Structure 1
Amino acid sequence: MDILTEALASMRTGMPASARTEGRAPWGLRLGPVPGASFHVVLHGTCWLLDCTGAGHDTALGPGDVIFLRDGRDHVLTDHPDSPQVGIGECGSGPAGPIRTLTLGGEGPGTSLLCGTYLLDPGRRPHPLLGQLPELIHLPARPGAHPELTSTIQLLGGELENPRAGSTGIVPLLIDSLLIYILRAWLDEQPAGTARGWAAALRDPATAAALNAIHAEPAAPWTVAALAAEAGLSRAGFARRFNELVGEPPLSYLTRWRMTTAARLLREGDTPLSTVAGQTGYGSEYALGKAFKREYGLAPGSYRRQYRMAA
């Protein structure tokens, strides 16, 4: 069981929205909040990311750099902090390609970026994988670091620079894969022995074994003792370690994962509620509905209808 892939798949509510941004100095692009996580990849040139929250996270970016904004907050991309800024609606439309292209700015040096949003459903409580990430992840381009991420960026740059037959299908798949490579790179950068939270949980054999068991069989009648046996630890020792690394007790995470799985089943098809209940460890539609409403604030049927109306 690939826990990282499973956790991400459970939160995804659609394909990523993306655009190529071509700016020539002086330029500045204002980006409002989005329902998910934002990402930016510098394909060519340099720029600044300005944090509009007042937290002081202004970041200089160079070729190959990647930025991931966990909560899709307001921010600005610009060649210089003092350059004039415009919204997306005020940008021009560039040449046809496999994704939308935005053009803005003057006649100075150019910068090319891939900008986009991953649509993620955090529920009422974000999954620890998302909730424990820094608000902003900056992965500077470094020779030899994260070769898979670097290769994906190079492939994206090539397809966007010279679209050919198949580019329309390839580019969305590369952007989709980029999310896993970004998070994998961040997880790999957490120092062994000092990492905390989800990064440490995935590295810890005992905790990872319990997470694997929960993800593989969310409907199983798991108890703390049964999960401790999967982890190869005493009940008390396992509960303490799991709570410390994941950030909540084992059975709380089990309930969270069951609810996350139920939400995904409701979004992705017409699975009867009785089947959703059975696949997530609830004995009846009533039991599922009670737990689901406590987590999402809506009954399962209402959640499904609301999602489809918004889609």
Structure 2
Amino acid sequence: MDVFGDLFRGVRAHGSLFGSSALSPPWALHFVDGAPLTLCTVLGGAGWIVPEHGPPEPLRERDTVVVRGPKTFTFVDEVGTRAEPVACGELCAAPEEGGTRHRRGWTDGGAAATLITGAYPVRGEISRRLLDALPVVLRVDAGGTGDAVLDHLAAEAAVDTPGQQVVLDRLLDWMLVCTLREWFDRPGGEPPAWWAAQRDPVIGHALRLLHAEPAAPWTVAALADRTGVSRSTLAKRFADLVGEPPLTYLTRWRMALAADLLLERDTATVADIAHEVGYADPFGFSAAFKRVRGTNPSDFRQHAGSRG
């Protein structure tokens, strides 16, 4: 598993709200759910994404934007529109229609724009590391790898067939992956360090090893041996490209894994979780967890579980 794939695994569409809205001006759709991630694409026409706090972002035909919550945002025909905002959220969903969770569309025979949206839940601490790498609003211009996905989304949304929600979920995942890849790779962009580091033949290999075998008894020497370079070369190159030493990265990765396991496996003991992420001693694990997370594993489980 590569770093991006690992971080993306909790950002998946599972019964996510999906919408296809045909709009004629003036319009103002206020997305009030504050979803962790919302993907928006205009199939035809144009409009503006207006975040709750931040400058408006134009959305032209086949452009795609991803909006990071929890703040709300509005899709308008033009900045300063005279339209009264229409709240779009859970109450707009119509799961009884075909068994899918479409948002109700606002349709007009003279529609000037068709907006496709997908609201994503984000599960777990692992995927929060992906969200932390994103701005509140990011936009990818039309003409990229996601264009082919849009055609499939439009076709699937136009019919009501068994398994439609599964198809829409997978298409939304595909679209989101294409969008994030292009945004990270945009000319002049500043992607997170781990994104660029994945492509280095040595450090990319090292990152894949740490993600594939987080519980292994890693040392810098062992990692250097597996990647075919000297210990000093690995340590310097890793720090230069990733921004921290390899074992510091490993500890933070293990603690993210542990945080999710503590919530997913409520019958597992702290010792069980410690062993699964590479610690033979639960006391050493608890000390590392508190150092990274600011609280011990038992308190984290109790407080995070009560919030959920």
TM-score normalised over the length of structure 2? 0.81
Q: Partner letter of residue 150 of structure 1?
A: D
Match of 1:139 in 2: 140
Measure how far apart 1:282 and its partner are.
1.5
SS at match of 1:205: coil
Cα shift readout 1:136-194 (whole Å, capped 9, x = no counterpart)? 3211211xx31xx22322222211111212213322232233332322333444579x9
Matches of 1:74 and 1:92, distance apart in 2:
15
> What RMSD, in angstroms, separates the aligned Cα atoms of the two structures?
3.4
* Gap regions ≥5 residues in structure 1: none
Q: CA 1:108 to 1:305, structure 2 compared with 1: closer, same or farther past 3 Å?
A: farther
Decide whether aligned partners of structure 1 residues 12 and 298 sit closer, same or farther in structure 2, where only a CA change above 3 A counts.
Answer: farther
Structure 1 partner of 2:41:
41
Q: How far apart, CA to CA, are the structure 2 residues paired with 1:48 and 1:185?
A: 21
Q: Does the 8 A contact of 1:225 with 1:235 survive in 2?
A: yes
**Contact 1:159 / 1:167 at 8 angstroms: preserved in 2?**
yes
- Does the 8 Å contact 2:41/2:115 carry over to 1? yes
State the secondary structure of the residue aligned to 2:198.
helix
Matches within 5 A, 1:161-310: 161-189=158-186, 197-269=193-265, 270-309=267-306
Tell me what 1:62 maps to.
Answer: 60
Q: Distance in 1 between matches of 2:91 and 2:28?
A: 10
Cα shift at 1:209: 1.0
Say if 1:13 and 1:180 are closer, same or farther in 2 by CA, change over 3 A: closer
1:278 CA displacement: 0.8
Which amino acid in 2 is paired with 1:99?
R
1:6-27, CA deviations, whole angstroms, 9 ceiling, x for partnerless residues? 1222x54984732315233211
Quick check: 1:29–1:76 contact (8 Å CA) kept in 2?
A: yes
Q: Deviations over 1:22-42 (max 9, x none)?
A: 233211122357362232122
**What is the TM-score with the length of structure 1 in the denominator?**
0.81
Q: Deviations over 1:29-83 (max 9, x none)?
A: 22357362232122333221123323x3x22213322111345543221111122
Name the residue aligned to 2:17: 18
Distance 2:161 2:18 in 1: 18
Quick one: distance in 2 between partners of 1:310 and 1:12?
Answer: 20
| 1:75–1:247 Cα change, 3 Å | farther
Q: Give distance in 2, aligned partners of 1:124 and 1:260.
A: 5
Q: Is the 8 A contact 2:198 2:205 kept in 1?
A: no
Q: Which residue of 2 aligns with 1:109?
A: 111
One-letter amino acid of the structure 1 residue matched with residue 63 of structure 2: D
Question: Which blocks of at least 5 consecutive residues in structure 2 are unaligned?
Answer: none
Determine the C-alpha separation between the residues in 1 that align with 2:284 and 2:241.
29
* Percent of aligned pairs with the same amino acid: 31
Question: 2-side partners of 1:169 and 1:90: how far apart?
Answer: 19
Distance 2:13 2:109 in 1: 37
Q: Indicate how the Cα distance of structure 1 residues 297 and 260 shifts in structure 2: closer, same or farther if over 3 A, else same.
A: same
Aligned partners of 1:68 and 1:121: how far apart in 2? 17
Structure 2 residue 149 is the aligned partner of structure 1 residue 152: yes
Runs of 4 or more, structure 1, over 6 Å off, are: none
Contact 1:91 1:103 in 2 (8 A): no
Q: Deviations over 1:252-286 (max 9, x none)?
A: 21011101111232333344432221111112333
Amino acid at match of 2:279: Y
1:113/1:304 Cα in 2 relative to 1: closer, same or farther (>3 Å)? farther
Give the AA of the match of 2:218.
W
Distance (Å, rounded) in 1 between the aligned partners of 2:169 and 2:300 = 27
Alignment of 1:56-95 (within 5 A): 56=55, 58-83=56-81, 84=83, 85-88=85-88
